[in-house]
Amino acid sequence: MAYRDQREFIRLLEKEGELRRIKRVVSPELEITEIATRVMHAGGPALLFENVAGSELPVSINLMGSGRRMALALGVEDVNEVAARIGELLETKVPESLMGKLAMLPRLAELTRYPPKTVSEGPVQELVLQGEDVDLGSLPVLKCWPQDGGPYFTLPQVITKDPENGMRNVGMYRMQVYDRNTTGMHWHIHKHGAQHLEKARRLGQKLDVAVALGGDPALTYASTAPLPDTVEEYLFAGFLRRAPVELVPARTVNLQVPAHADIVLEGYVDPAEPLRNEGPFGDHTGYYSLEDDYPVFHVQAITMRRDAIYPATVVGPPPMEDFWMGHATERIFLPLLRLVVPELVDYHMPPEGVFHNLVFVSIRKRYPGQAFKVMHSLWGQGLMMLAKVLVVLDEDVDVSDPQQAWWAALNNIDPRRDTIFTPGPADALDHACPLPHYGTKMGIDGTRKLPQEGFRRPWPDKIEMSQEVRRKVDGMWKELGLD
């Protein structure tokens, strides 16, 4: 089911008892963070701050901050339903015969069935502010943590077009507010926004940028999904919501923006302009990400709905709202990863690993050295290149349970034999690698070792009680009075 806009989703959350309105005046400087962090750490509801000091706009936060709300945001009961939809499409083997190929078309068409639709007007342009009227200070942008370099947009959908082939990209990159009409643009070097700017630099052009805030949460989620550059985020959002994303032409830049977003910032990044210091920022690693130089976004217009709600999130010591967004990605991308790593049974990125630091993987192992093959394949897939520690386990390990995964891995390894270290790209937020963006990865082979791998000793079975005794004790359980 598609939500028309953020309000519709908020109404549903309210009906489901998943949202609390807060009427008391609170400050966007640190106070909302403290409140939201307590609520997120306790697994609490979405919040709508109706009276935020210094701004007319309400602030929504934590709308996707649980497994249930993340699923509701994508219009399903469980995000695994989306994975199953993708899995079904991918199972389609291309048949040899022409009739077979034709028969397959409707299934593949599902992926591209809801391309974005251009409309001539939309509520996001009910108010249009340009020139002197542009003032980012009028928005309730949060200063999240005490050492933050300033207030930050934390849930922006940053829209750019590839200057060479015109392909659109939408990515979520935080933006530090510098003054009335400029912000930082924190796209990491590995991300598509940064690649578009690099191309603009080579062509000697400025890069048009539009930033959408709010609208249907499926759009917000899609901008965080690690899609290849050939798959456009609003097409993917159309697939998720089973309805096209409606786009209107932006007023001052050559881009289209979601018609039902709450707020849009229009402007440009000039690759010829010197980079500017950005940060620090209390990040999703639970540490401050350090100051660094990033491009500057110049905002030349703000358009918004009359009833706009400013969407935000707060990241910090995990688990926070972003864990649930990343978790949805983990589930949804499983069938896609299986295309390139067919022995992959499951994988999991536990909250304490903040996505890139730790990935547990279970595989169906058939031949010697397969765990190492799997590590290298995964490090070769898109943003998986940033995975710092990869632990490979056998298929009988439930990797969604980190305690079980470590238990199996730690029992099964001989550290010198079963670990590899390899150089590779590191996440921009990794503060421990010796050079920015470049560090070491560790692969741990926690699978059962085969004789062909030189292991000559017997391998013990995992302890399990016999079925017979279990059944017998089941029968006497009530009598034992141990419940």
Ligand X SMILES: Cc1cc2nc3c(=O)[nH]c(=O)nc-3n(C[C@H](O)[C@H](O)[C@H](O)COP(=O)(O)O)c2cc1C
User: Is 148 known to be catalytic?
Assistant: no
Print burial letters for 369-396: b (CB count within 10 Å at least 16), e (below 16): ebbeebbebbbebebbbbbbebbbbbee
Q: Are strands 344-348 and 389-394 parallel, antiparallel or unpaired?
A: unpaired
Stretch that binds ligand X, among 38-46, 102-110, 218-226, 366-374 (CB under 6 A): 218-226
CB of 381 vs ligand X, minimal distance in Å: 13
Q: Interface with ligand X includes 310 (CB under 6 A)?
A: no
Residues recorded for the chain = 483
Annotated catalytic residue within 148, 216, 262, 283 = 283
Distance CA 311, CA 213 (A): 6
Distance CA 243, CA 240 (A): 8
Total number of residues that touch ligand X (CB under 6 A): 20
CB of 347 vs ligand X, minimal distance in Å: 17
Region 383-402 residues binding ligand X, contact defined as CB under 6 A: 383
Instruction: Out of 3, 114, 187, 360, name the contact with ligand X by CB under 6 A.
Output: 187
Instruction: Out of 60, 169, 183, 447, name the contact with ligand X by CB under 6 A.
Output: 169
Instruction: Out of 13, 141, 325, 444, name the contact with ligand X by CB under 6 A.
Output: 325
- Is the CB of 186 or the CB of 449 nearer to ligand X? 186
Residues 6+ apart with CB under 8 A from 402: 348, 350, 352, 360
Q: Interface with ligand X includes 172 (CB under 6 A)?
A: yes
Residues 6+ apart with CB under 8 A from 226: 329, 333, 382, 383
Contact 440, 366 (CB under 8 A): no
Instruction: Out of 173, 239, 379, 406, name the contact with ligand X by CB under 6 A.
Output: 173
Q: What would the two tokens of residue 312 be?
A: 């935000």
Instruction: Out of 75, 214, 215, 226, name the contact with ligand X by CB under 6 A.
Output: 226
Q: Are strands 263-269 and 292-294 parallel, antiparallel or unpaired?
A: unpaired
Q: Is 416 exposed, middle or buried (0-12, 13-18, 19+ CB in 10 A)?
A: exposed
Stretch that binds ligand X, among 2-10, 113-121, 223-231, 335-343 (CB under 6 A): 223-231
Q: Interface with ligand X includes 47 (CB under 6 A)?
A: no
CB of 204 vs ligand X, minimal distance in Å: 23
CB of 206 vs ligand X, minimal distance in Å: 19
Q: CB-hemisphere CA count at 13 Å for 24? A: 6
Instruction: Out of 7, 168, 186, 449, name the contact with ligand X by CB under 6 A.
Output: 186
Please give the residue ranges that form the binding site for ligand X (CB under 6 A): 154, 169, 171-174, 186-188, 191-193, 224-226, 313, 315, 322, 325, 383
- Which of the residues are catalytic? 283
